[in-house]
Structure 1
Amino acid sequence: MMADIDVEEGGKSVDLTGKRVLVVEDELLIGLELEQSLTDAGCAVAGPAESVDQARELIDGAALDAALLDVNLDGRPVDEIAGLLAERDIPFAFATGWAADNLPRPFADRPVLQKPFSPQDVVAVLRLLLDRPSAV
């Protein structure tokens, strides 16, 4: 079941300045929108990674505070990436237009940033992740 997350709930006081956020998104314009929203909020962005291999390299090569993942990268699911993030206790949310049954099963309770999204939605989800990382 998809996490029912109210992006207005909690996290409003979390300072995003300098937070390192991985963006995994294969659609160029959406990746750039995510990057811009995060940069405007003061975050340092890793990515956007457009493939599972690129995402794996960024996870291995950077200290990360959080991540936003597309569910499908050019036909390839992101289950492996979600697993790596979970193993490293890096909170993440899915940024997707896909339905809940397309989320990787072990991570179906993670927050979802539903496409299309606004910059305010991106910031709210990130604040939620950083405010309550053990809950997500």
Structure 2
Amino acid sequence: MSMTINGRAPVRIAFEIVPLSTLPPDKVVALDEVDGLITALIGEGHITPELRAELEELHRTVTQQERWVQTSPELDPHRLDQPAEGLGIAHVAWERVAAGVLPPGVLAAPVERDRMLVWLLHEHHASAQLCAEVSEYGRRIAGDGLWEQRWPA
């Protein structure tokens, strides 16, 4: 793993497919965050293994380039469980798109701008409920500054 200037490895984002029974009732995704790692536990049937792998690789690029960095979860280890405060610092979302929007063989594509990162996901590989729940987490994580974008000036 590469090291940053401050001597810390880049944060890692992992995606795991788990039985729905292991998630909270009526939820298809749960996030677990510790310093240096955020894991998305996604219920079976709401994401394909192919999209899971592609998203993990694409997120690795974003974090290794330190375009998005984690603020310290040690100050509040349960911060992701709290509702969004609505600060609107940045926007992160997952959106399902028709298969023809993406190039052949591509299941996910990031669209990033200053204060925004939207993941376009192949409609046959992610459920609408998953995208809605991840987007709600995005309102908390990016919108409230728990993760910060380092967009070039």
TM-score (norm 2): 0.29
Query: What TM-score does the superposition give when structure 1 sets the normalisation length?
Result: 0.31
The structure showing larger relative contact order (alpha-carbon pairs under 8 Å, at least 6 residues apart) is: 1
More strand by share: 2
Whose helix proportion is higher, 1 or 2? Answer: 1
